[in-house]
Amino acid sequence: MAAILDMKWCHVPVAGHALLAVADADGLIGLYQLLGSKETTYTLQPFASFALGKQCLALSLDWSTGKAERASPQPLKIISSDSKGQLHLLKLDEAGSGLHEVATWQAHSFEAWIAAFNYWQTEVVYSGGDDSLLRGWDTRAPGEPTFTSRRHRMGVCSIQSHPHQEGILATGSYDEHVLLWDTRNMKQPFADVPMQGGVWRLRWHPLHSHLLLAACMHGGFSVIDCQQATEKQQDMCTISVSHTLPSSLLYGADWSWLTFCCLPETEPSSHSGSLSGSDPGAGTEDEAGDQWPEPPCPDSLTDDESGNKERTSPQPSTEDVRKGSSQLHSPRTKICVCDSGMEADHNIHLLATCSFYDHVLHLWGWESS
């Protein structure tokens, strides 16, 4: 398989199965079904594919189902961008297991780094290119953009519509800024968040509507608290947590949709969902003497002299982040995926990042205050 440049899960089942879409360096959009069960091994099996064109890279893709809900007559659509500056609107024929082209048009003079749906009006899509332009399009008449913004000073490489709140759009750029927009007025953003690296990917949290995850290349990743900004349409964002990986470029980041809870270590461990790091290599002993992978980050909870847990404040430092491990809090608690009848702790978050050069996928646990 060629190098994968973007991937996204469809948030509604297709033919009774989860479906993963992949954009690769051969210019292909591939769909894969997740098959299996808890009793057997899960596997990804090819479902459908579409070639965007010759001698181009498929750079990004987005599903029209970003809100995790779908009106019954709404067709499943994918918008994709390529290295020639084009956008491709595709429709999935669920009965015939095929992807069909609806429209293709020239959107940018150079690479179209990113394309994304407006999840609340799926006839509308947005694109960002290496020409530093952010553009909007009506897919029913895509010949001319509905707007063109030059507010970013360098290539626009990340866009996501807010899945919980209509009218909010997040964009990121090589210029190391995240901008928040009111889609009813795309002349100026209502919030501007300086970052510490080029913003290659943005992901809104699936449950907490105010949290925005940013993959910032050499600047690592950051979680942005946008609550005040989105509620009051004011420039009031804060960085809840950030972390850098030395000698690495973060090009991907996303949240887990699972909910978690804490279990005392003394309870029977009948649940198999405890978190573990995915980075191979030399491990480091935690306080309980167990091994967990490098690079270590301190726990978000520490024990004071009396044995009580102290919560660290959510400041922009690595003290709030630790790579996912079976001992996320203290030696006496562990994190597991919540089953029915268990009380979820919605302050526990799991996220994943992938990095260039070292080719590593990291899992991170974070407890927000």
220 is a domain residue: yes
Judged against a pLDDT cut of 50, whether residue 324 lies above it is answered with no
How much is the mean pLDDT over the chain? 81
251 is a domain residue: yes
Task: Flag the least confident range among 41-45, 79-83, 124-128.
Answer: 41-45
Q: b/e string for 166-205 if b means 16 or more Cβ within 10 A?
A: ebbbbbbbbbbbbbbbbbeebeebbbebebbbbbbbbbbb
Question: Which residue in 7, 174, 156, 173 sits closest to 80, CA to CA?
Answer: 7
Judged against a pLDDT cut of 50, whether residue 24 lies above it is answered with yes
d(Cα 86, Cα 108) in Å, to the nearest integer?
7
Q: Give the phi and the psi of residue 319 in degrees, each rounded to 5.
A: -70, -15
The dihedral sign for the CA sequence 249, 3, 124, 105? positive
324 is a domain residue: no
Task: Flag the least confident range among 15-29, 170-184, 233-247.
Answer: 233-247
d(Cα 127, Cα 288) in Å, to the nearest integer?
49
DSSP 67: T
Task: Give the domain CATH number at 236.
Answer: 2.130.10.10
273 is a domain residue: no
Judged against a pLDDT cut of 80, whether residue 10 lies above it is answered with yes
163 is a domain residue: yes
pLDDT at 13: 87
Judged against a pLDDT cut of 70, whether residue 344 lies above it is answered with yes
Mean pLDDT of 197-209: 96
Q: Is 140 exposed, middle or buried (CB count within 10 Å of its CB: 0-12, 13-18, 19+)?
A: exposed
Please check whether residue 333 is in contact with residue 264, taking contact to mean a CB–CB distance below 8 angstroms. yes
Mean pLDDT of 128-145: 97
Kindly report the pTM of this predicted structure.
Answer: 0.81
CA separation, residue 4 to residues 24, 26, 48, 261, 268 (Å) = 4, 9, 16, 33, 40
162 is a domain residue: yes
4 is a domain residue: no
* Number of domain units in the chain: 1
DSSP 228: H
Question: Which residue in 190, 217, 212, 189 sits closest to 202, CA to CA?
Answer: 212
Share of the chain above pLDDT 90, in %: 59
More confident residue, 307 or 183: 183
Q: Give the phi and the psi of residue 88 in degrees, each rounded to 5.
A: -130, 120
283 is a domain residue: no
| Domain residue limits at 135 | 59-255
Please check whether residue 113 is in contact with residue 154, taking contact to mean a CB–CB distance below 8 angstroms. no
DSSP 17: B
Task: Supply the Cα-derived Rg of the chain in whole angstroms.
Answer: 21
Question: Which residue in 27, 79, 24 sits closest to 56, CA to CA?
Answer: 27
Q: What are 357-366's pLDDT values in tens digits?
A: 888 999 998 8
